[in-house]
Structure 1
């Protein structure tokens, strides 16, 4: 049974209650998720799917090149001027596998596990305030059928799930974030006594039932004075609340506590899952750790504990600029001595790649590190020691997080095929196991014969046709020559 937990995205009541307005974009933290529009290379055009376009991704090898290891790259490109706003899965060469345009921008596209099965998830909704959203996380199976939507509950209206986090846990729950405006005295910051701020909410929601197991609010545990942001001129009003905290990732720590990254306090917080108490703070104004040389981070994203005990994150260092470039960080934390030491720094190929928003760091199973550069349209892979292996350019637009993961899918819809100029142009949007294509042609279906397989040559493959057969079909084959799907032309 599908788990449909959220309302449709007609979220007028939620939007009204939040009083979301574009004026909040003047806050330094609210520069999140917005990038400069740019004009990229020409986008591919497909005869079989003229409705689809995708970025022409350019990969530059450095100390290596992307390996064909069965993994895919998952992206959510967007922004004015980008050829695609939606979900994009590409192979190691940057060639599209699944192009899925969405009415709204899509965030946090990744492969996760639900009930022991591989699923694909992403956020969709509305983002009337730059850097925040109200919506839901979509869950689809390996045929791209929607099986669930996940959003907030409890003391929050349905459909208030924010763009930043939709992490599924092994216990069948989802970690979500949300923003709620509340009154606050802002005279300390030069603002009004009867001002307004964004309170940041972390929820853990049972996917099956929608029950809220945890609802944590930043103002109950982290004071306004912890912020590194300045109150914008004319900010702190009900129409433009002060974004003092800006939660942007929630993950599980090894002991079951929760690691929460707050961009606008430059800090990572370890939360007790039962009480919500802050067990320790790393970075910011009230750090419980002494930060070693090269450790200090600013405006960071995606803080996660790794299997070796280190803590990784994407260190933006920007908006406003603090350091010369954004970077990936791996830190060793001594929770007894309360010290944080730099283990590895992952630097981009260009010395000034400052990402004013977004970004991610993923630990790959082989020890490599995969980084998405957020508002800068790039993603990169590094060796464990920090050596850059290769760098990919999206050409235009930006992307919240980038992942390199295993994903196997066979779409519910059949392949698309068009006969034009003496050839069949064929594609199967989302299919991951197609190794080759072959034509089946003849006077009728009963007498039709299969031709020789033609190797898949990218998202779309061209198959020459001899003569003018009355019956013509195309078959998708896997690496073992087994038929995965077929389409009869003219049906």
Structure 2
């Protein structure tokens, strides 16, 4: 290829790539979360939609699916039925924090709902355990014992064989540590910081510490497979804000003999720990394995659980991630059952389950779990990827679903399946609609209720009644829909169980009737969403009074600029309220960077690179005849393309907004009024 043509081809590729990155920035943001349900009776709920690739309703184990996606629109604990219908949205129930591993637990002889809630950090969390009753009321919160760090997300489990009196939990404890003793750590000239993996067994009612185990007392950091600064969650070990997580304790279980089974991801090992003195009784995998692995290798595993054990054999299950995204021992992740023969010191995989993906499997480089089901099958949560599956004992996949695309940011630490019975203390929610006061539609739901089988609808044309039964329908999914051929101005819905017994009723609801102007956009199920009027038809907003700067609170609170657009015609952009700093009389400004500034900066960076590269090309062709002419034609070609036009239009809008803001900011500082 001639030199000129080569350079022009490279230039064209760079220009188009730069434009495409800018134009599609918002597109990628839109693809980072889960598609969500929309419910007329509960528009506040944004539960992820389950997308099934495989579903065999006749074969799946009865029960409900418990999971807690995070980094989605409304993170929190959720319950779904086997067909993917929402049963309970606990978003917000755990507070403004992330939740992990909702599961049914036995506390004081009855079923409860347990989960962890807390502040998410990189690779771990800080928080506490929560126990809810069958009305979704909090009956207990459990914190770590002692004077160390708070609970971690990786394990919060009522202890087996404790009759529901104690709980197992993990703690990630940062400590100062001499990291100069081993050259593999690549740290010197000072004290380092390390994360000690700790697990505790704690009495639920008293908070008393029953047992505690600390990794640094038993496993030397030299055994780590993950060194300081080697992964995105390892920590660099240089300061307390980024301690080296050499162990990464991620599961704890207990057997009837009182010993513990723990999994440590960053040493790729599973340990049996003595419940008497904490010494390591055996090690599967890792750098000091007790057993020869006859037919498998594993690494960076999660969720080790006892299945059975006697004097000569141990059977356990765990999720083999097979990769940390930086190192790998396999192409795909699997759920495994491993049998250990203590006589011959060998470990053998006896059952294996993988994801039914077209490429042969799914590689999940973090998180995940395997839950053994009563029928011998298993339920698998695929961790880093927001997928879950159910498999029969012979390996057949009978359920495989996702909450979000693999390219999204959404993750699920663990997914489980249990039977569950609950009746919330909240009431059913009802919304009714009539387009022309002729026919009436009703939509009803009851978040968290598991025993509703049908609904009765009662109507009246007066708020105080009398109310007459308009009809009954079977419950369908989370939200049930009912239509009647006549108009009803007021109504309520009544929930019935399988025996026809009334469980509860909604409050009386007034039917929404659209205005004559709005009616043309409606059908019998509601009206379409409103649209913004064209810019030329907008009515300018004029504030009746300008507020003195001294009256504004200096507490900015949460930044809501991502959710609220500028109000057209306002004297200043509303999404900058609370971000303007008091300015000097000469027009100087000490304002923090605004969201528009950040967005324009995100565009300016690639455009700056583009301009710099273009300048270099111009210099090169300065010495070549006809170079400028060809460069000009290429620039015209790109800027007039669809990509180029969109980017230039967007840049112009952002630049205009920024100029208007600066102009107003300057005039405001001179007048002393915000």
Please tell me whether residue 45 in structure 1 is matched to residue 38 in structure 2.
yes
> Is the contact made by 1:418 and 1:489 (CA closer than 8 Å) also made in structure 2?
no
For residues 100 and 250 of structure 2, what CA distance do their matches in structure 1 show? 12
Please tell me whether residue 344 in structure 1 is matched to residue 358 in structure 2.
no
Relative to structure 1, the CA distance from residue 345 to residue 480 in structure 2 (aligned partners, 3 Å threshold; closer, same or farther) is same
Please tell me whether residue 389 in structure 1 is matched to residue 394 in structure 2.
no
Higher helix share: 2
Aligned partner of residue 163 in structure 1, secondary structure: strand
Aligned partner of residue 459 in structure 2, secondary structure: strand
- Matched residue, 1:331: 338
Please tell me whether residue 484 in structure 1 is matched to residue 477 in structure 2.
no
Give a deviation string over 1:185-239, Cα, whole Å, max 9, x none: 2231211352111011111100010001111100001111111112217921123
Please state how far the C-alpha of 1:173 moved relative to its aligned partner.
Answer: 0.3
For residues 60 and 336 of structure 2, what CA distance do their matches in structure 1 show? 26
Aligned partner of residue 86 in structure 1, secondary structure: coil
TM-score (norm 1): 0.87
2:196 to 194, 199, 204: 199
- Matched residue, 1:156: 148
1:174 to 162, 167, 173: 167
TM-score (norm 2): 0.64
> Is the contact made by 1:66 and 1:92 (CA closer than 8 Å) also made in structure 2?
no
- Matched residue, 1:434: 452
**Aligned positions, number:** 449
For residues 197 and 383 of structure 1, what CA distance do their matches in structure 2 show? 42
Please state how far the C-alpha of 1:153 moved relative to its aligned partner.
Answer: 1.1
- Matched residue, 2:305: 304
Relative to structure 1, the CA distance from residue 132 to residue 39 in structure 2 (aligned partners, 3 Å threshold; closer, same or farther) is closer
Aligned partner of residue 509 in structure 2, secondary structure: coil
- Matched residue, 2:318: 313
Please tell me whether residue 93 in structure 1 is matched to residue 89 in structure 2.
no
Please tell me whether residue 113 in structure 1 is matched to residue 115 in structure 2.
no
Please state how far the C-alpha of 1:252 moved relative to its aligned partner.
Answer: 1.1
Instruction: Describe how 1:31-70 pairs up with structure 2 within 5 A.
Output: 38-39=31-32, 42-61=35-54, 64-65=56-57, 67=59, 70=62
- Matched residue, 2:186: 190
- Matched residue, 1:25: none
> Is the contact made by 1:254 and 1:305 (CA closer than 8 Å) also made in structure 2?
no
Instruction: For structure 2, list consecutive stretches of 5 or more residues without a partner in the other structure.
Output: 1-28, 435-439, 511-674
Please tell me whether residue 454 in structure 1 is matched to residue 454 in structure 2.
no
Relative to structure 1, the CA distance from residue 266 to residue 237 in structure 2 (aligned partners, 3 Å threshold; closer, same or farther) is same
- Matched residue, 2:218: 221
**Structure with the larger RCO, 1 or 2 (CA within 8 Å, 6+ apart):** 1
Relative to structure 1, the CA distance from residue 237 to residue 66 in structure 2 (aligned partners, 3 Å threshold; closer, same or farther) is farther
- Matched residue, 2:63: 71
For residues 321 and 121 of structure 1, what CA distance do their matches in structure 2 show? 34
- Matched residue, 1:261: 263
> Is the contact made by 1:317 and 1:326 (CA closer than 8 Å) also made in structure 2?
yes
> Is the contact made by 1:66 and 1:93 (CA closer than 8 Å) also made in structure 2?
no
- Matched residue, 1:405: 418
Please tell me whether residue 379 in structure 1 is matched to residue 381 in structure 2.
no
Comparing 186-195 with 351-360, greater Cα deviation is found at: 186-195
2:377 to 350, 368, 373: 368
Please state how far the C-alpha of 1:240 moved relative to its aligned partner.
Answer: 1.6
Please state how far the C-alpha of 1:105 moved relative to its aligned partner.
Answer: 1.3
- Matched residue, 1:21: none
Please state how far the C-alpha of 1:467 moved relative to its aligned partner.
Answer: 3.0
Aligned partner of residue 402 in structure 1, secondary structure: strand
Give a deviation string over 1:107-126, Cα, whole Å, max 9, x none: 11111111111010111111
> Is the contact made by 1:191 and 1:235 (CA closer than 8 Å) also made in structure 2?
no
For residues 41 and 377 of structure 2, what CA distance do their matches in structure 1 show? 37
Aligned partner of residue 506 in structure 2, secondary structure: strand
